[in-house]
Amino acid sequence: MVTDSHKEFQMETSHGLVMQSTGSWYEVRTTDGTSVKCRLRGQFRIKGIKTTNPVVVGDSVDFLIEDDGCGYITSIHPRKNYIDRKSTNLSKISHIIAANIDIAFLVVTLREPRTSLGFIDRFLVAAEGFRIPCCLVFNKIDIYSEEEKEEIARLRGIYEKIGYQTLCTSVLTGEGIDDVKALFSGRVALCSGHSGVGKSALINAIDPTLDLRIGAISEVHDKGRHTTTFATMFPVADGFIIDTPGIKEFGLIQYRPEEVRDYFPELRRYNNECRFSNCSHTHEPGCQVRAALESGEIAAHRYENYLHILQDNDMMIEEWKLR
């Protein structure tokens, strides 16, 4: 008689990448390019990570094939990185957007809909946590007035000075599409942002064979309608691109205040120049960050967003020790 444990031992373990996660089923792409529908068994958790989704798009996994042709995931290979945010329903639990990312594209728009600067900076903080390179993609450049284009140029100057890449793109005119292609070539690229900023349309422009569904903008609320329901990774040229559902808010969770300080590159540069080595850059005498802010070397909105993040009680796991 063959027991279940002996049966599992005799089964050949396969390896693949998670291409889509619906929460209960996972599409896994094997090394030969075939897809297998997989699921989890029992309580599957990753040590040290409290998350709503134990397996995410981009994960490298091992799985076994069952008699019905479906598979079940037995293990996850160590992640080199991931981007997560606060779960919308559980404030103390995170939701991982994707894992094993080589570059992240944050698609932003000034209108139809408008992306807030607070959203941008929180996303960048999450990416800085794993040193994931980020590119800000100012999409729908064809719809803006000259005044709005000047605002985009000003913002590009701020973020490029910090060290981030920026691009302007238009699916309608083709502007910037080749630049995006060049950046993610041979990489695993994450494409994220609000609903309606044009993530799926941008991916379609990069590879028209994908033919992803595109939604319209609500004229009443100037908000995008969700067309991407689940995060999905697509093979494109010699790399992969991950299309994600639109994110309304980007809440950070479980960062220490001193980590947030280090995840703003323009603040991090002054860490060894302040009077106090553990300066919070908020109130201490001899703070070089505040001096740089007053001189215009640090953008006011970036510093304000830094303070807002520090004031987010749900995010902090340790209060800053005030002197």
pLDDT in tens, 189-205: 999 999 999 998 999 99
Within 8 A by CB and 6+ apart from 20, the residues are: 26, 27, 57, 230, 231, 232, 233
Look at residue 219 in the predicted model and tell me its pLDDT: 40
Check pLDDT > 70 for residue 165.
yes
Q: State whether 100 and 63 are in the same domain.
A: no
Q: State whether 166 and 236 are in the same domain.
A: yes
Domain count, the chain: 3
Look at residue 6 in the predicted model and tell me its pLDDT: 45
Closest CA to 105 of 8, 243, 253: 243
Q: State whether 166 and 70 are in the same domain.
A: no
Full domain range(s) for residue 197: 82-243
> What pTM did the predictor assign?
0.86
> Does residue 249 lie within any of the structural domains?
no
pLDDT in tens, 64-80: 998 888 999 999 999 99
CATH at 174 = 3.40.50.300
CATH at 287 = 1.10.40.50
Q: State whether 140 and 239 are in the same domain.
A: yes
Look at residue 12 in the predicted model and tell me its pLDDT: 77
Query: CA Rg, the chain, in Å?
Result: 22
Check pLDDT > 90 for residue 40.
no
CB of 100 within 8 A of CB of 188? yes
Q: State whether 126 and 170 are in the same domain.
A: yes
CATH at 62 = 2.40.50.140
